[in-house]
Amino acid sequence: MNRRLYGALGLSALTAMLVALYMVFVWVPTEADQGIVQRIFYFHVPCAWVAFASFGLVAIAGIFYLWMGTQIWDDLGYAAVEIGMLFCTLVLITGSLWAKPIWGTWWTWDSRLTTTFVLWLMYGGYLMLRTIADDTEQIARFAAVIGIVAALDVPVVIVSVRLWRTIHPAVLVTRQGGHGLEDPRMVVTLLVSLAAFTLLFAWLLLLRFSELRMRTRLATLARDIALARFRAGAA
């Protein structure tokens, strides 16, 4: 059943991605001021959306892990944080590639960029903790707390363009209200890209989560074997 679900989700994500690519490179009109490089936007924003959704899920999984103490929540949080880090890294890279021709610099300590970088650093710390330390219950609890605290930065990143002076465009809701996209086709393309990335996120999460569940089962089985050997030796 799981393999069918993976297959269906993977195929849906691939199809949606191909449609999104067609729309980005063929269908949508070129933005008047920025030219062709503005098309980075159609994958830059969905990458940010997946990163934020992942980190939100890490926080939820962390809360449930601290509350219930069951391994499944820890596995879910670990799977989500990896995907969040992947897409947060892509947001920073694609943003930098977009900034260079438009702002004339690869990086600036703007409020949106800085808060996103802080988010990346915090979840980088989470991943380092999980990679370096042993898989103990205490480490899982520490990681859950980091996951919850770091997620508090997500709303800060979102509202940063409205709270502080910034050169980063407020695309979805501008300071004047409304959105910053001049043509309805731009909105449709963005929505299709968001849908494609949401499917991709679900697929990647399912793959990584099932792998972590398998790792947990493996550890349980190894413990059972050690116990059976010990009993056999004792007898």
Partner 1 sequence: MEHLGYLFVAYSIIFAAIFLYVAFIWRRQSFLERELDALRKRLDALNDLKAGEEAPSDRSS
Contact residues toward partner 1 (CB under 8 A) are 35-37, 39-40, 43-44, 47, 86, 89-90, 93-94, 97-98, 100-101, 200, 204, 207-208, 210-211, 214-215, 217-218, 221-222, 224-225, 228-229, 231-232, 235
Q: How many residues does the chain have?
A: 235
Query: Based on the number of CB atoms within 10 Å of its own CB, is 147 exposed (0-12), middle (13-18) or buried (19 or more)?
Result: buried
Nearer to partner 1, 86 or 156 (CB): 86
Least distance (Å) between residue 207 CB and partner 1: 5
Burial of 150 (0-12, 13-18, 19+ CB in 10 A): buried
| Cβ atoms of residues 57 and 87 within 8 Å | no
Q: How many CB atoms lie within 10 A of CB 132?
A: 8
In angstroms, the CA 133 to CA 142 distance is 11
Is the Cβ of residue 94 or residue 174 nearer to partner 1 in the bound state?
A: 94
Residue closer to partner 1, measured from CB, 3 or 165: 3
CB of 101 to partner 1, least distance (A): 4
Residue closer to partner 1, measured from CB, 15 or 69: 15
